[in-house]
Structure 1
Amino acid sequence: MARSTSLTSALVSVGYEGRSAKELVDRLKLENVQVLVDVRLTPLSRKPGLSKTKLAAALRAVGIEYVHYKALGNPKDNRDGFRHGAPESRDRFREVLGTAEATDALQHVVELLDGGVVALLCFERDHSTCHRNLVVDALRETCPDIAVVHV
């Protein structure tokens, strides 16, 4: 499998839908991710190994730092509309990104990017149906030249 980017600093947008925890960790290693930022509102999963505690341990075992930012999560009652492209759902999430907590979290992600490759994690494999796509857009406002890889 070829590496998607050869840059030392990049943003990887990844969804674990259809992947096992091992497949996810292997892909993050392939992308040379140093830090995974979990942007799920609630970092729980029915899939083994993909809830916060076990995922953080698996990442730590391969040298990847785990950070969870609840402030960058999409409210549960906004997800279905978001997945279906409803403009009001996207607008609502943009409002979430405008909160002080989300602004602070975004600033920390920008700081993490100075150290190398950072991954944003959520469930949806297709970034266009996931709120992390708007997180990427918000980060690009501060770092317009950052390379983004969707995996």
Structure 2
Amino acid sequence: MRPLFTIGYEGKTLDEFLGELQAAGVDLLIDVRAVAASRRPGFSKTALSGALRERGIDYLHLRPLGTPAAGRQAARAGRTAEMRAIYADQLETPEAEIAMVQALGAAEERRAALLCYEKDAPVCHRAMLAERMLDRASFEVVNL
């Protein structure tokens, strides 16, 4: 069964993060942040995609699979159930459906990892996304 990795960069240096991806054999990072910007050096879209490219890892940003602002606010406040409800609604949008098809196609062909900030996958939207992907394809979800 093909692995589907998930990874959060919270608390990691860029080198640690990239090393984890390389050790797992990831060759495509699917960024599922609504806003691919970060206060953490190296984790904004342009810098991150460049650092990944240097390590032989491709980058794909699928903004519609990110958590809307209200969901991010709920997550920061520790209201996980509220975040999950908001994100479930997001996944029902036409834009998210198109992005989901892209993510599935990419993950079925490559060793892919879903990226977000949160270090704890079970409370992050990427876990919900991985669950939805499992409904449509056969993967083994591996949280890095």
Task: State the TM-score, normalized to the length of structure 1.
Answer: 0.88
Shift of 1:85: 4.6
Letter in 2 for 1:94: A
Q: Which has the higher helix share?
A: 2
SS at match of 1:104: helix
Map of 2:5 onto structure 1: 12
Map of 1:104 onto structure 2: 98
SS at match of 1:33: coil
Mark the runs of 5 or more structure 2 residues left unpaired by the alignment.
none
Deviation string, structure 1 residues 50-74 (Cα, Å, up to 9, x no partner): 1100100011111111011110110
Alignment of 1:1-151 (within 5 A): 9-82=2-75, 84-143=78-137, 145-151=138-144
C-alpha separation between the residues in 2 aligned to 1:41 and 1:89?
Answer: 14
Aligned residues: 143
C-alpha separation between the residues in 2 aligned to 1:141 and 1:108?
Answer: 15
Deviation string, structure 1 residues 28-83 (Cα, Å, up to 9, x no partner): 01111111000111111111111100100011111111011110110122224346
Amino-acid identity (%): 35
Q: C-alpha root-mean-square deviation of aligned residues, in Å?
A: 1.4
8 Å Cα contact 1:14-1:150 kept in structure 2: yes
8 Å Cα contact 2:68-2:86 kept in structure 1: no
Letter in 2 for 1:22: D
8 Å Cα contact 1:85-1:129 kept in structure 2: no
Mark the runs of 5 or more structure 1 residues left unpaired by the alignment.
1-6
